[in-house]
Amino acid sequence: MIEILPAIDIIDGKCVRLTKGDYNTVKRYDADPADMVRRYVDHGFRRVHTVDLDGARCSAPCNLRALERMASVNGAEIEWGGGLKSQQALDDSLNAGASFLVVGSLAVKSPQLFAGWLERYGADRMVLGADADSDGHVAVNGWEEKSELTLENLIDRFIPAGLTQVITTDISCDGMLQGPSFKLYERLMEEYPSIIFTASGGISSLADIGRLATDGVPRVIVGKAIYENRISLKELEKINA
């Protein structure tokens, strides 16, 4: 069984999608984030992965009103990321209704702070966003910068602090609708059997999800394939049942 997390990316309070994390490729959709969450919940999904792309660029949450409206949907659990680089940003996001918090750039640049958040808020709520390009190095600040750390370097830092949840995106696959990086997830799961990995990027078909499920990937984020009508919510609902 694989858990499907439908995705919402937000710019200026509206749903968008990027290709390979490039803000110059932004595609806007005629969909309100809260309405999308309502649709997802109606089809049996609870946990909705949401990225504040404005927040990722300006290093602080920018779409908290949208978060409030999404979180107010009965039955929804919002997994929220983008610009979570301070204690205030975390508290503001939780107060706005986020159920889970995804931290990426700060975990790279201020590891002791993120380790402290893991202990303070709990590993069941804090999620590490470990995204990398094809060279295997972690990208930060809305994927506009690369660090010298590999995915493994980053994950190793936080296992002693109790890390249990990691979202990993191969940026070269993101938004391409050409399939995810299957080998990447196979390698990571073999190396870190105690971590709950969420696959993200490149999901284009039910076959992609089926292969990830067969490989034992616990969770998968599906975004652009839904917006582009490559996969219907009814089809996903059957898998998620």
Determine the Cα–Cα distance for residues 105 and 99; give it in Å rounded to an integer.
20
Q: Has 9 been annotated as catalytic?
A: yes
- State the Cα–Cα distance between residues 1 and 212, nearest whole angstrom: 10
For residue 150, list its beta bridge partners. 137
Quick one: pLDDT at residue 187? 92
Domains annotated for the chain, with CATH where assigned, are 3-240 (3.20.20.70)
Mean pLDDT by groups of 10 residues along the chain of 241 residues:
94 84 78 94 97 91 97 98 95 98 93 96 96 77 72 95 94 66 92 96 91 96 89 89 61
Given 22, 35, 54, 131, which residue is catalytic? Answer: 131
Q: What is the pLDDT of residue 38?
A: 97
Q: Are 202 and 178 within 8 A, CB to CB?
A: yes
The DSSP code sequence of 141-186 is TTTTEEEEEEHHHHHHHHGGGT--EEEEEBTTTTTS-S---HHHHH
d(CA 201, CA 212) in angstroms, rounded, equals 12
Nearest to 126 by CA among 91, 156, 88, 100: 100
The pLDDT, as a whole number, for residue 31 is 82
Looking up tokens 């599906």 gives: 222
pLDDT of residue 23: 80
pLDDT at residue 142, as a whole number? 56
Asked if 131 is an active-site residue, the reply is: yes
- The reported pLDDT for the residue numbered 118 is 97
Q: What pLDDT sits at residue 199?
A: 95
